[in-house]
Structure 1
Amino acid sequence: MQVETTEIADVKILHPRKFGDERGFFSEVWNAQTFREAGIDVEFMQDNHAYNAEAGVVRGLHYQLEPKAQGKLVRVTRGAVLDVAVDIRVGSPTFGKHVAIELSADNWAQLWLPPGFAHGYCTLVPDTELLYKVTDLYSPKNDCGIFWNDPALDIQWPVSPEKAILSEKDKTLPLLKDQTRLFEFRETK
């Protein structure tokens, strides 16, 4: 597996190998030892599967606070998304900055974002499916979010605000500057 560092060092793009023939393909998308060697030493607690019927569906920007913070390993099994990780660790040199990459069934890339990041995506084509592993269980009490189109984040979404398809919850999330609960930055070794 090839591991690529992004502009925010703690966020990684992973490229699993695919082995194909006339029958189809095989791909090892997660391996504890391989991930540990890449500096991602985590235990996953839950797998999530999301289906999006239309292009322009925006989900996010979501995160969970301590003690139920979640790291996420995200991949697309059908279709394509612009996937976004926003650093929300107060004191981080990259606080408020983001990484945005295309994840698709074609490029087979995965995005790792550790706790301390808000996550969101926008579907680029209809009938898009994502699978993602998380390091803690869903906790409604610790569930938080940032408005997807916060101007301070300067995310170049591939959909206009009038055409974005959002949940009622995501339409009313606060801006980053109005968040009362975020993460504290801790230097990693």
Structure 2
Amino acid sequence: MNVETTALPGVLRIQTDIYEDDRGGFMETFHADRYAEMGIDVTFVQDNVSRSETGVLRGLHLQHPHPQGKLVYVLSGTVYDVVVDVRPNSDTFGEWIGTTLQAWSHQLFVPEGFAHGFVVTDGPATFAYKCTDVYAPEAELTIHWNDPDLGIDWPVDDPVVSEKDAAAPRLRDVDRDRLPRVRSIV
């Protein structure tokens, strides 16, 4: 397993070990001790799976309060995955990274306090993710996927988005009290 840091603090790209032979393949998607050694020392409490067709864009989503760290990966298909730092007191506030995730390949760890979204570039795609907190509808927050202030370079021209995602506000229009903060260590 190989871990790469990204331009956003705490966001990690993980190359998983894959064992293949003429029968098929095996990939370990999570092992608490090994991931803790890599700096992902969290407790996951909920697993989710979504299936989307080519061109479907989901995001940018987060929860606050009840923030969710996520370990995301693709079981089939290919997605372009985006993470945005939406913590107003962060040095990287408003910055984003994007990376391609293919089936049986990389994972991405998204810490609490970041918005997350993806678009399917080769589908259908089955997208799986582990969460550090349960879904809390009252804490749900969506940032507009195509916020011009963020300038995300999505690799699709006309994605299929939900009504909720299409109606989401720009980051600048979200009340700062609704956004997470960098936690200070005292």
Aligned position for 1:166: 161
d(CA) in 2 for partners of 1:45 and 1:109? Answer: 21
Query: SS at the partner of 1:170?
Result: helix
Which of these residues, 177, 182, 186, is aligned with residue 172 of structure 2?
177
Which of these residues, 118, 128, 131, is aligned with residue 128 of structure 2?
131
Aligned position for 1:120: 117
**In the superposition, relative to structure 1, how do residues 95 and 50 fare at CA in structure 2: closer, same or farther (>3 Å)?**
same
> Structure 1 residue 125: deviation in Å?
1.4
> Structure 1 residue 99: deviation in Å?
1.1
Instruction: Report how many residues are paired.
Output: 184
d(CA) in 1 for partners of 2:15 and 2:94? Answer: 26
Moved over 4 A (4+): none
- The answer to whether residue 34 in structure 2 is matched with residue 39 in structure 1 is no
d(CA) in 1 for partners of 2:129 and 2:63? Answer: 15
Structure 1 spans left out of the alignment, 5+ residues: none
TM-score normalised over the length of structure 1: 0.94
Query: SS at the partner of 1:133?
Result: strand
TM-score normalised over the length of structure 2: 0.95
| CA RMSD, Structure 1 to Structure 2 (Å) | 1.3
Deviations 1:21-75 (A, max 9, x none): 011011112111111111111000111000012x111100000012x11000000
Query: SS at the partner of 2:122?
Result: coil
Amino acid at match of 1:49: V
d(CA) in 2 for partners of 1:145 and 1:45? Answer: 22
d(CA) in 2 for partners of 1:188 and 1:97? Answer: 23
Amino acid at match of 1:165: V
- The answer to whether residue 98 in structure 2 is matched with residue 100 in structure 1 is yes
d(CA) in 1 for partners of 2:72 and 2:130? Answer: 7
d(CA) in 2 for partners of 1:187 and 1:7? Answer: 20
